[in-house]
Chain A
């Protein structure tokens, strides 16, 4: 009996610890200034097609202080790797110590995939994302909507919860979303540190969001 109580107390204690840590991590992100200490390690999540084009436009705008740059793509995506390599090699002419890597993880959700099978494949994607994010230890995760973002952001959050490192979550909602957030946007809105939208109607609906006009 007393062991049961012990296990329960331990369990709820752990849950409580996680919730408190989660709260602290999510609310103190704006005080985190990795750029003051040196280069900012970026993990950029490239989705497929339009998402990749948009994320590369954003990466192009960042100064050489954002390095190294790690890209994550879904393993079913053939096009993105080529786009990233073309982009990074063209960048190298202007920036001699450019460093980048590309990593693949299983896709967490294909378009039109059902909810139940999405859950299974998302859990599978988390299994790959956690070790990847733990070994790269980025200062920030930059993402813009493909389903692959969610497991990587969750892994980043876990680094913070465990007190290893605060990973800033920077989300840029796709220019396609004018009045409603994407599913990924809805999931990441509460846990992201900087959440950008590109249309004023979304800014009005989501007070935490940042609106700087169209940025891609």
Chain B
């Protein structure tokens, strides 16, 4: 089963949950071959049940200690712009679509998602362009996100501090 995992982090993002469960978005997902949708809705006002989208296998939960397993099991991750969620999905090597909450436009969290988008590590849209993005996105154009190199930091510090 091709799975999409949607995560909103520790807050809520009802608009994203509403958009992704709309019949147009579900249709777009189906046409791209996805047949299972897992939603992490956080403090959102609704926890959608399977009856919301009869045409796709739907699971939803609010919080888990770790969403690592859900990310691992996904073929596509759709996330809010939170740095933690973005880095976790990219670190697991998953294709990532970040949906911006335009009500939080000046949030510094957006900086990282915007930069990672400019570097072609993720796709980027708003709730209103979500369905179009799902229809037209080209995941093969995304570049892998290589882990940072703490060794460079250690080498620099060794030299600066005179460590043998």
Q: Is the interface of A mostly helix, strand, loop or mixed?
A: loop
Question: Which of the residues A176, A179, A210, A216 comes within 8 Å of B156, measured between beta carbons?
Answer: A210
* Complex contact A212–B111 (CB within 8 A): no
- Tell me which residues across on chain B come within 8 A of A182, comparing CB atoms: 108
CA gap between A34 and B154 in the complex, in Å? 15
B84 in contact (CB, < 8 A): yes
- Residue B68 CB within 8 A of the other chain: no
Query: Could you tell me the distance between the alpha carbons of A138 and B150 in the complex, rounded to whole angstroms?
Result: 21
Interface size of A by CB at 8 A reads 40
State the main secondary structure of chain B at its contact with A: helix
| Contact call A177/B111, Cβ cutoff below 8 A | yes
Nearest B residue to A139 by beta-carbon distance? Answer: B161
How many pairs of A and B residues are in contact by the CB < 8 Å rule? 91
Contact A35 B153 (CB under 8 A): no
Residues of A within 8 Å of B148, CB to CB, are 57, 175, 198, 213-216
A10 within 8 A of partner (CB): no
CB-based contact A212/B161 at 8 Å:
no
- Chain B residues in 8 Å Cβ range of A27: none
Given contacts A60-B150, A176-B108, A179-B111, contact A212 B156 (CB under 8 A): yes
Out of A35, A170, A196, A215, name the residue touching B164 (CB < 8 Å): A35
- Point out the residues of chain B lying under 8 angstroms from A175, CB to CB: 83, 87, 112, 148
- Residues 120-164 of chain B, each 1 if its beta carbon lies under 8 Å from chain A, else 0: 000000000000000000000000000111111110111011111
Which positions in B face A, CB cutoff 8 Å?
83-84, 87, 108-109, 111-112, 114-115, 147-154, 156-158, 160-164
